[in-house]
Structure 1
Amino acid sequence: MIHAFPCGTLPLDFVGTLRARRRAAPTEKLATPDQLDAWFVEAGMLDAAPGADETDLAIAVDLRESIYSLVVARLDGEPLPPRAVAEVNKHAAGLPVTLRLHTDGATRTGSVAQGLAALARETVEIIGGDEAALLRECARPECTQVYLDRSRGHRREWCAMRTCGNRVKAATYRARQHSGAAS
């Protein structure tokens, strides 16, 4: 598995395919069409790779950045950028992923455009609905992952406890140990 899904919300996990956005050289997890194919399969959106090409990849990255623009606007309490709204709405109007029932289960198949349409529709539901108030950015300074804080009391701080949460807590512990040893 080459992708991470810490948010439990596919559009926000999709935004997270550009890691450490504030760094001079962020890490791009959608650098090739094969990586985009892998994202759809690993996310469970499609059972088989849709066969992305370079054009599909460029469209997917553009949608990802439009979703991120909308998320940042909501986080900052700013108006939604019209270009990002138009981009997400354009994709949301697309055909859905095809679900088929078989005697031994179900399958999900579709094109890149169908996968992007599903992400765009879920983005519309998040950004345009009550869940927009639950948007948070990970408190670990190096991380720029955004998630929905559905925790009781809405006090979640990290995109994922097993990664960012553990790193922050371990660093805090080491700093306490170091300052105690220096005294």
Structure 2
Amino acid sequence: MHAFPCGTLPLDFVGTLRARRNAAPAEKLASPEQLDAWFVEAGVLDTAPGADETDVEIAVDLRESIYALVAARLDGRPLPSRAVAGVNRHAAGLPVTVRLHAGGASRTGSVAQGLAALARETVEILGGDEAALLRECARPECTQVYLDRSRGHRREWCAMKTCGNRVKAASFRARQHGAAAPRV
């Protein structure tokens, strides 16, 4: 199962490499099956696109290009040209096929089409006003990025139910531990 704390698919896609600053980050796209599952769980596609090892390499490369662009925006640096070219190349790809039928609608396509959808949304975010809303989770162990659409733009964590809860619980335990210590 994949996590989608951001509500923004390209940023959730970046989060498939968890704790990226750790010595051994957790790779959530280590196999074609995991990539297929991500597309379906994210709602990009209704059925698995049938990824192979090459698709995984291409997807990871796009993910890292998106992260490089986001990191540059967060740090106020110029966008890296290699990452810009990679995202633009994917964004120019064919869209996911959307079909209307008696039971509703379906979204189908290849890995390349799913990646094109992510790249196009990345272009919209980084090339528009929402780029100013980019943040990185304040929990030191987390490297998830998100768009802070909160009122007042003071959101600190990628998700309250995970990172926010962990930080608040740790702070509470620290206060309790400090209050229980005898004073000399």
* CA-to-aligned-CA distance 1:18-65 (integer Å, 9 cap, x gap): 000110000000000000000000001100000000000000000000
> What secondary structure, in the 3-state scheme, does the structure 2 residue paired with 1:100 have?
strand
Superposed CA RMSD in Å reads 0.4
Name stretches of at least 5 consecutive residues in structure 2 with no aligned partner. none
Tell me the distance in 1 between the aligned counterparts of 2:131 and 2:9: 15
Aligned partner of 2:148: which letter? D
1:78 paired to 2:77: yes
* CA-to-aligned-CA distance 1:3-29 (integer Å, 9 cap, x gap): 000000000000000000110000000
> What secondary structure, in the 3-state scheme, does the structure 1 residue paired with 2:156 have?
coil
Give the corresponding residue for 2:169.
170
Give the corresponding residue for 2:26.
27
Provide TM-score, normalisation by structure 1: 0.99
The 5 A counterparts of 1:6-155 are 6-155=5-154
Aligned partner of 2:82: which letter? R
Tell me the distance in 1 between the aligned counterparts of 2:103 and 2:82: 44
Displacement of 1:104: 1.1
Number of positions where the alignment pairs a residue of Structure 1 with one of Structure 2: 182
Identity %: 86
